[in-house]
């Protein structure tokens, strides 16, 4: 079949070139965006007098017929068509005749693919944002139920201070909130229409780019035609946003792996989201969080791959940018399924409050409270109080108990400056509730944080409807 561009060529393309050059094997996924963009372009051509009403109706009907063929699986994608744009245009011309040949007036495949891919990225942005908000809703529901569930807060993976589980989950949500904000920012920055830029320098047809931008839901047209056809920042923004999201998901997943181990015993994952061993019948493996950890790597790789493609490209369009799509398609799919399965995994998990409290009673988590008591109630300088508390910890270690189990008499035997009431502040519940500063782990402060995040989720969700 003749190419749509073969007028200046005397011999046919080799089969090897067709296979190497074709992107139809993956960019067929842009069919919806391509048809949407073509409909808007056709309406604009009619508006500026290139198409008459009959031709416009014929083109719109033909594009609608092609959409139904693709949805039903009837449409045949062939390497000889090179890409989704030529595949749809070729089929349109077959269906409606000469009118189909007019559709490509006042546009190039350069601005056409820039439009289609940008539309895809913006839609993916919103889809992923909604999925993050759904995950946050699930997490906030869990957090609200566990503002009094005490667990060890850690630094260096060592027991540090007592916190409540809700507070820890809110920390996860804060990272996800930043992800939502990143996706929102990049959506606003990239919500511009490149269609009408032509190959690189605009068109001589008087395209109404504002009309097309409005028709497609963009905030405005892009400013410069040369930049418009060669820019892939919108795809890189999406890949970066996803990479950051997957990094946060990986960190959450790492904690789920640790918490589900016998050594921690903080969480029991549902059988529906766990697997077994082919040789050890007792095993219940946390495959979901482990896979989520691993999938972060492919998301990072997709970002680096496109950065590497773009880093040396001269203006304007270059065929290298055909390599922009597969990594984005992969990262989008990875992010969407990762968010969905993490939400389900957490929603069906059981948090073991007794084990958490038991572990919080190890590691002298309330030692800082004793140091603070010495400063606040005994007038001891903090450096001295730190030293005294260290001696108390050493005493408890020798006795084989947690610092919270020491009596007032034992505390004073270590240092007589420790006044009455010191042992009361060593209670882990009191220690957790004492951290009542803004952003602290006290139950009331944790609830404030939950309400703050809940308001954010509701507000953003409403703005996307």
Sign of CA dihedral 412, 417, 419, 424: negative
CA separation for the pair 294, 249 (Å, rounded): 10
How far, in Å, CA of 356 to CA of 265, rounded?
Answer: 8
User: Which sequence positions are flagged as catalytic?
Assistant: 156, 277
Q: Residue 97 has which token pair?
A: 């005749």
CA distances from 344 to 275, 334, 337, 340, 457 (A): 15, 15, 11, 6, 18
Asked if residues 195 and 37 have their Cβ atoms less than 8 Å apart, the reply is: yes
Cα(369)–Cα(213) distance, rounded to whole angstroms? 60
Q: Kindly give the pairing relationship between strand 220-221 and strand 192-193.
A: parallel
Total residue count of the chain as it appears in this document? 465
Tokens of 447: 């609830």
User: Residue 443 and residue 448: Cα distance in Å, rounded?
Assistant: 9
Q: Are 182 and 244 in contact (CB under 8 A)?
A: yes
Which residues, other chains included, contact 208 with Cβ-Cβ below 8 Å and sequence gap of 6+? 44, 47, 48, 196
Which of 60, 17, 24 is closest to 42 using CA atoms? 60
Q: Which two tokens stand for residue 376?
A: 């606040």
Asked whether 151 and 168 are in contact (CB, 8 A), the reply is yes
Contact 80, 1 (CB under 8 A): yes
Which residues, 6 or more positions from 346, have their beta carbon under 8 angstroms from its beta carbon? 135, 138, 139, 142
- Contacts within 8 Å (CB) and 24+ apart, 394-399: 396/364
Q: Which of 192, 220, 218, 197 is nearest to 207 (CA)?
A: 197
Backbone angles phi, psi at 151, to 5 degrees: -145, 165
Q: Is 192 helix (H, G, I), strand (E, B) or coil?
A: strand
The CA–CA distances, whole Å, from 397 to 161, 409, 415 equal 17, 17, 16
């Amino acid at each position: 079949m003749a190419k749509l561009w073969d007028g200046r060529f005397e011999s046919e393309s080799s089969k090897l070139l067709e296979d190497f050059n074709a992107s139809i094997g993956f960019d067929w996924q842009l069919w919806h965006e391509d048809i949407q963009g073509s409909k808007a372009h056709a309406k604009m051509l009619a508006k500026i007098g290139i198409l008459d009403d009959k031709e416009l109706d014929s083109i719109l009907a033909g594009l609608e017929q092609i959409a139904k063929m693709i949805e039903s699986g009837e449409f045949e994608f062939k390497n000889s068509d090179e890409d989704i744009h030529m595949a749809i245009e070729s089929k349109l011309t077959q269906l409606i005749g000469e009118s189909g040949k007019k559709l490509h007036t006042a546009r190039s495949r350069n601005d056409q693919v820039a439009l289609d891919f940008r539309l895809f990225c913006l839609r993916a942005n919103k889809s992923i944002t909604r999925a993050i908000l759904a995950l946050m809703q699930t997490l906030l529901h869990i957090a609200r139920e566990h503002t009094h569930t005490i667990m060890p807060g850690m630094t260096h993976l060592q027991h540090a201070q007592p916190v409540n589980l809700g507070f820890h989950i809110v920390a996860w949500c804060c990272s996800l909130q930043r992800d939502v904000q990143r996706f929102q920012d990049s959506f606003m920055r990239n919500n511009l229409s490149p269609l009408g830029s032509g190959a690189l320098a605009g068109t001589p047809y008087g395209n109404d780019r504002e009309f097309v931008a409005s028709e497609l839901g963009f905030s405005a047209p892009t400013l410069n035609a040369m930049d418009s056809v060669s820019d892939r920042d919108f795809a890189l923004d999406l890949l970066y946003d996803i990479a950051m999201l997957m990094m946060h998901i990986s960190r959450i997943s790492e904690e789920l792996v640790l918490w589900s181990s016998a050594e921690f015993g903080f969480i029991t994952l549902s059988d529906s989201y766990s697997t077994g061993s082919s040789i050890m019948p007792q095993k219940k493996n946390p495959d979901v969080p482990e896979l989520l950890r691993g999938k972060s790597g492919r998301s990072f790789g997709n970002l680096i791959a496109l950065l590497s493609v773009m880093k040396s490209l001269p203006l304007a369009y270059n065929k290298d940018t055909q390599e922009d799509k597969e990594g984005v398609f992969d990262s989008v799919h990875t992010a969407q399924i990762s968010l969905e399965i993490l939400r389900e995994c957490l929603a069906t998990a059981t948090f073991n409050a007794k084990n958490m409290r038991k572990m919080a009673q190890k590691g002298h988590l309330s030692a800082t409270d004793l140091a603070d008591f010495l400063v606040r109630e005994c007038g001891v300088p903090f450096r001295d109080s730190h030293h005294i508390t260290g001696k108390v910890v050493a005493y408890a270690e020798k006795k084989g108990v947690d610092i919270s189990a020491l009596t007032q008499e034992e505390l004073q035997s270590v240092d007589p400056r420790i006044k009455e009431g010191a042992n009361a502040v060593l209670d882990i519940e009191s220690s957790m509730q004492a951290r009542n500063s803004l952003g602290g782990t006290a139950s009331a402060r944790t609830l404030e944080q939950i309400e703050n995040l809940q308001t954010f989720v509701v507000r953003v969700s409403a703005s996307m409807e």
